[in-house]
Amino acid sequence: MKKSLFIFILMLLTFTTGCSSTTPTNPYTGRVLNIGIIGNSPTIIENKTVNFVPITFEDLSNDNYKNYDAVFIMKEQLAEASNDNYSKIYAELQKPIIFIGTDSLTPFISDAIDYRPKDFQEGLLYSVGLIEGTEYGFGLYNDKENEAMIKLFYSDLFRLIE
C-alpha cells in the first residue's frame, strides 16, 4: 500500500510540475549596467539597474562606446547596421555588441550579405551578438514572443553581459 501511495504521489507531482503554465521569472538584480543603444530603447524593461544611452553608428566608428558595458543595435536599425562599412568595426569592438531582432550574425560581419527583415519565427534565434570575439545566439523561452518572454530574455542577456 505504501509503495502504491508513493508511486501515485510521484506521478501526481510529475504531472503537475510538467504541466505548469507559469512563465519563469528571474529579473536581473546585478550591478548597474550602462548599455549604448542604437535605435529605440526597449520599453518593456522596468529595471532601474540598467541604463540605456542613445548612441550612433558614428560613435562606434570613433570609439565613443568604451564607457558602456555593451552595445545594442535594435531591430529598426538592423538594415543600416548591415552596411559594409561597419563589419570591421563590429569585429574589433572591445565590448559585447548585440543585434536585437535577428537570427543571423552574417549580414553584420560579412560584406557580401545584406540584412533582410523578417518576423520572429519559432525555433529560430531572437537575437545574435559578438562577445569578446565569440558569436552568440539568444532565443526566447519556449520560442514564444510575448511580454513575459521578452522580459526574461533581457534579464538573461544582462546577466551574461555582467
Residues in contact with 60: Cβ distance below 8 Å, sequence separation at least 6, in sequence order: 38, 71, 86, 89, 90, 93
Q: Kindly report, residue by residue over 76-133, the tens digit of the pLDDT.
A: 999 898 888 888 888 888 899 999 988 777 767 777 666 666 554 566 788 889 888 7
Q: Give residue 88's domain range.
A: 31-161
How many domains does the chain fold into? 1
At residue 25, the 3 state secondary structure works out as: coil
In a domain, 4, yes or no: no
Closest by CA to 78, choosing from 52, 65, 97, is: 97
Q: What is the pLDDT of residue 122?
A: 61
Q: Where are the alpha helices (DSSP H) in 21-118?
A: 57-61, 78-81, 87-92, 106-109
Q: Kindly report, residue by residue over 37-89, the tens digit of the pLDDT.
A: 999 998 877 678 899 999 999 999 898 888 999 999 999 999 898 888 888 88
Q: What is the pLDDT of residue 133?
A: 78
In a domain, 147, yes or no: yes
Output 160 or 106, whichever has higher pLDDT: 160
Q: What is the pLDDT of residue 16?
A: 36
pLDDT(17) > 90? no
In a domain, 7, yes or no: no
Q: How far apart are CA 15 and CA 13, in angstroms?
A: 5
Q: What is the pLDDT of residue 20?
A: 46
Q: What is the pLDDT of residue 2?
A: 41
In a domain, 6, yes or no: no
CA 114 vs CA 22, 55, 96: distances in Å: 39, 22, 22
Note whether 139 and 14 are within 8 A (CB).
Answer: no
Q: What is the pLDDT of residue 107?
A: 67
Q: What is the pLDDT of residue 36?
A: 96
- HSE at residue 126, side-chain half, CA atoms within 13 A, is 18
Beta bridge partners of 71: 36, 97
In a domain, 8, yes or no: no
Q: What is the pLDDT of residue 134?
A: 84
Q: What is the pLDDT of residue 53?
A: 95
Q: Kindly report, residue by residue over 18-30, the tens digit of the pLDDT.
A: 444 566 678 888 9
Residues in contact with 157: Cβ distance below 8 Å, sequence separation at least 6, in sequence order: 98, 127, 138
